[in-house]
Structure 1
Amino acid sequence: MTDMITADLVDLDLSAGTKEAAARNLAARMAALGRVTDLEGFLDDVAAREAQMPTGLDGGIGIPHCRSAHVTEPTLAFGRSAAGIDFGAPDGPADLVFLIAAPAGADDAHLTILSALARRLMDPGFTAALRATADPEAASRLIGGQETPPAPVPDPAPAAGASSAAAGEAGADESAGARPEDTATAPAAASAGAAAGSTAPGNPAEAAGPADSAESPEEPGRGTTGAVRPFRIVAVTSCPTGIAHTYMAAESLENAGREAGVEVVVETQGSAGFTRLDPAVIAAADGVILAHDLPVREKERFAGKPTVDVGVKAGISRPAELVAEVRRKAESDGTPAGTGAPAPATASASGGTPVERAGEAGEGYGTKLRKWLMSGVSYMVPFVAAGGLLIALGFALGGYEVKAAPSVLDHFMWSQRAGWGALLFQIGGFAFGFLVPVLAGYIAYGMADRPGLVPGFVGGMIASATGAGFLGGLAAGLIAGGVVLTVQRVRIPPALRGIMPVVVIPLISSAITGFLMLVVIGKPIASAQKAMTDWLNGLTGTNAVLLGALLGLMMCFDLGGPVNKVAYTVGTAGIAVADPSDSAMKIMAAVMAAGMVPPLAMALATTVRGRLFTPTERENGKAAWVLGASFITEGAIPFAAADPLRVIPSSMVGGAVTGALSMSFGATLRAPHGGVFVVPLIGNPFLYLLAVLAGVCVTTGLVILLKGLRTPAPGDGGASGAGPAETAPEQRQPVAA
Structure 2
Amino acid sequence: MKITDLLSAQSVKVGAAAASQADAIDQLVALHVAAGNVTDADGYKAGVLAREAEFSTAVGDGIAIPHAKVAAVAKAGLSAMTVPGGVDWSAPDGAPCDLIFAIAAPEGENNVHLEMLAKLSALLMHEDFANALRAAKTPEEFLAAIDAAEAGRDAADAAKAEAAAAPRTADSEWPQILAITACPTGIAHTYMAAENLEKKAAEMGLTLKAETQGSAGAKNVLTADEIAHCKGIVIAADKNVDLSRFDGKPVYTTTVSAGINDPEKLINIVMNGEAPVHHNAGGAVAATASAEQESTWHKIYKHLMNGVSHMLPFVIGGGILTAIAFLVDQPGLGTSSYGSSIPAAALFKTIGGEAFGLMLPILAGYIASSIADRPGLAPGFVGGLFAKAGYDFAYLSTLDSSGLISGGFIAALFAGFAAGYLTLGIEKLCDKLPSSLEGIKPMLIYPVLGTLAIGVVMLALNPIFAAINTGLNSFLAGLGTSNIVVLGLVLGGMMSIDFGGPFNKAAYVFGTAALDPSSGLGTTGQIIMAAVMVGGMVPPLVIALSTTFFKNRWTKDDRNAGLVNYIMGLSFISEGAIPFAAADPAHVIPSCMIGSAVAGALSAAFGCTSPAPHGGAWVTAVIGNPIMWLVACIVGSVVGCLILSFWKKPLSKEESGL
TM-score (norm 2): 0.50
Q: How does 1:233-244 map to 2 (within 5 A)?
A: 233-244=177-188
Aligned partner of 1:279: which letter? Answer: A
Paired with 1:300 and 1:332, the residues of 2 have a C-alpha distance of 15
Aligned residue in 1 for 2:52? 50
Aligned residue in 2 for 1:92? 95
Q: How does 1:222-233 map to 2 (within 5 A)?
A: 222=171, 232-233=176-177
Aligned residue in 2 for 1:686? none
Aligned partner of 1:80: which letter? Answer: T
Structure 1 residue ranges without an equivalent (≥5): 152-183, 203-212, 216-221, 223-227, 335-341, 361-373, 404-424, 446-464, 472-525, 555-562, 576-580, 595-639, 660-690, 700-737
Aligned residue in 2 for 1:201? 166
Asked whether the equivalents of residues 35 and 72 of structure 1 are also in contact (C-alpha less than 8 Å), the reply is yes
Is 1:3 paired with 2:5? yes
Aligned residue in 2 for 1:283? 228
Larger Rg: 1
Aligned residue in 2 for 1:570? 502
Paired with 1:552 and 1:35, the residues of 2 have a C-alpha distance of 55
Aligned residue in 1 for 2:398? 398
Structure 1 pair 290–437 and aligned structure 2 pair: CA distance change class (3 A): closer
Asked whether the equivalents of residues 436 and 469 of structure 1 are also in contact (C-alpha less than 8 Å), the reply is no
Aligned residue in 1 for 2:67? 65
Cα deviation 1:536-582 (Å, max 9, x = unaligned): 56699999x999x989997xxxxxxxx8xx2243269979xxxxx99
Paired with 2:391 and 2:124, the residues of 1 have a C-alpha distance of 58
Aligned partner of 2:297: which letter? Answer: V
Paired with 2:217 and 2:57, the residues of 1 have a C-alpha distance of 21
Asked whether the equivalents of residues 26 and 77 of structure 1 are also in contact (C-alpha less than 8 Å), the reply is yes
Aligned partner of 2:74: which letter? Answer: T
Structure 1 pair 237–657 and aligned structure 2 pair: CA distance change class (3 A): closer
Aligned residue in 1 for 2:112? 109
Q: Select 1:352's aligned residue among 280, 294, 298.
A: 294
Paired with 1:646 and 1:656, the residues of 2 have a C-alpha distance of 14
Asked whether the equivalents of residues 383 and 415 of structure 2 are also in contact (C-alpha less than 8 Å), the reply is no
Q: 1:83 Cα deviation (Å)?
A: 1.3
Q: 1:354 Cα deviation (Å)?
A: 3.4
Q: 1:75 Cα deviation (Å)?
A: 1.7
Asked whether the equivalents of residues 277 and 286 of structure 2 are also in contact (C-alpha less than 8 Å), the reply is yes
Aligned residue in 1 for 2:254? 310
Q: 1:240 Cα deviation (Å)?
A: 2.8
Paired with 2:562 and 2:27, the residues of 1 have a C-alpha distance of 27
Q: 1:317 Cα deviation (Å)?
A: 2.2
Structure 2 residue ranges without an equivalent (≥5): 279-283, 303-362, 369-379, 422-459, 515-528, 534-556, 577-611, 620-658
Q: How does 1:118-517 map to 2 (within 5 A)?
A: 118-143=121-146, 145=147, 147-148=148-149, 192=159, 200-202=165-167, 213-215=168-170, 222=171, 232-275=176-219, 276-296=221-241, 298-329=242-273, 344=286, 346=288, 352-356=294-298, 383=383, 385-386=385-386, 391=391, 395=395, 398=398
SS of the aligned residue for 1:274 comes to strand
Structure 1 pair 441–114 and aligned structure 2 pair: CA distance change class (3 A): closer
Paired with 2:364 and 2:261, the residues of 1 have a C-alpha distance of 30
Is 1:534 paired with 2:474? yes
Aligned residue in 2 for 1:175? none
Aligned partner of 2:128: which letter? Answer: G
Paired with 2:130 and 2:35, the residues of 1 have a C-alpha distance of 26
SS of the aligned residue for 1:532 comes to helix
Structure 1 pair 319–387 and aligned structure 2 pair: CA distance change class (3 A): closer
Q: 1:530 Cα deviation (Å)?
A: 8.1
SS of the aligned residue for 2:474 comes to helix
Structure 1 pair 574–583 and aligned structure 2 pair: CA distance change class (3 A): same
Structure 1 pair 55–265 and aligned structure 2 pair: CA distance change class (3 A): same
Aligned partner of 2:249: which letter? Answer: K
Asked whether the equivalents of residues 11 and 32 of structure 2 are also in contact (C-alpha less than 8 Å), the reply is yes
Paired with 1:306 and 1:546, the residues of 2 have a C-alpha distance of 54
Give the superposed CA RMSD.
5.8
Paired with 1:32 and 1:538, the residues of 2 have a C-alpha distance of 73
SS of the aligned residue for 2:198 comes to helix
Asked whether the equivalents of residues 235 and 267 of structure 1 are also in contact (C-alpha less than 8 Å), the reply is yes
Aligned residue in 2 for 1:459? none
Asked whether the equivalents of residues 552 and 655 of structure 1 are also in contact (C-alpha less than 8 Å), the reply is no
Structure 1 pair 236–646 and aligned structure 2 pair: CA distance change class (3 A): closer
Aligned partner of 1:201: which letter? Answer: A
Paired with 2:385 and 2:23, the residues of 1 have a C-alpha distance of 45
Cα deviation 1:619-645 (Å, max 9, x = unaligned): xxxxxxxxxxxxxxxxxxxxx999857
Aligned partner of 2:223: which letter? Answer: D
Asked whether the equivalents of residues 306 and 349 of structure 1 are also in contact (C-alpha less than 8 Å), the reply is no
Asked whether the equivalents of residues 247 and 268 of structure 1 are also in contact (C-alpha less than 8 Å), the reply is yes
Aligned residue in 2 for 1:19? 21
Asked whether the equivalents of residues 494 and 503 of structure 2 are also in contact (C-alpha less than 8 Å), the reply is no
Structure 1 pair 58–383 and aligned structure 2 pair: CA distance change class (3 A): closer
Paired with 1:278 and 1:13, the residues of 2 have a C-alpha distance of 45
Asked whether the equivalents of residues 551 and 567 of structure 1 are also in contact (C-alpha less than 8 Å), the reply is no
Q: How does 1:679-718 map to 2 (within 5 A)?
A: none
Aligned partner of 1:99: which letter? Answer: A
Paired with 2:50 and 2:128, the residues of 1 have a C-alpha distance of 32
Q: 1:235 Cα deviation (Å)?
A: 0.8
Aligned residue in 1 for 2:349? none
Paired with 1:131 and 1:401, the residues of 2 have a C-alpha distance of 66
Is 1:83 paired with 2:92? no
Paired with 2:181 and 2:13, the residues of 1 have a C-alpha distance of 31
SS of the aligned residue for 2:226 comes to helix
Q: 1:272 Cα deviation (Å)?
A: 2.1
Structure 1 pair 657–135 and aligned structure 2 pair: CA distance change class (3 A): closer
Paired with 2:574 and 2:61, the residues of 1 have a C-alpha distance of 52
SS of the aligned residue for 1:269 comes to strand
Paired with 2:297 and 2:574, the residues of 1 have a C-alpha distance of 35
* Identity level (%): 29
Structure 1 pair 149–273 and aligned structure 2 pair: CA distance change class (3 A): closer
Cα deviation 1:285-328 (Å, max 9, x = unaligned): 220111122222x1233243222322212212232332122100
Cα deviation 1:223-243 (Å, max 9, x = unaligned): xxxxx5566222111123211
Aligned partner of 2:125: which letter? Answer: M
Q: 1:99 Cα deviation (Å)?
A: 1.3
Cα deviation 1:674-709 (Å, max 9, x = unaligned): xxxxxxxxxxxxxxxxx99x979x89xxxxxxxxxx
TM-score (norm 1): 0.46
Asked whether the equivalents of residues 307 and 349 of structure 1 are also in contact (C-alpha less than 8 Å), the reply is no
Asked whether the equivalents of residues 6 and 76 of structure 2 are also in contact (C-alpha less than 8 Å), the reply is yes
Cα deviation 1:2-22 (Å, max 9, x = unaligned): 332111111111100322211
Q: 1:131 Cα deviation (Å)?
A: 2.2
Paired with 2:48 and 2:8, the residues of 1 have a C-alpha distance of 21
Paired with 2:574 and 2:505, the residues of 1 have a C-alpha distance of 23
Q: 1:32 Cα deviation (Å)?
A: 3.1
Aligned partner of 1:323: which letter? Answer: I
Q: 1:118 Cα deviation (Å)?
A: 0.5
Aligned residue in 1 for 2:526? none
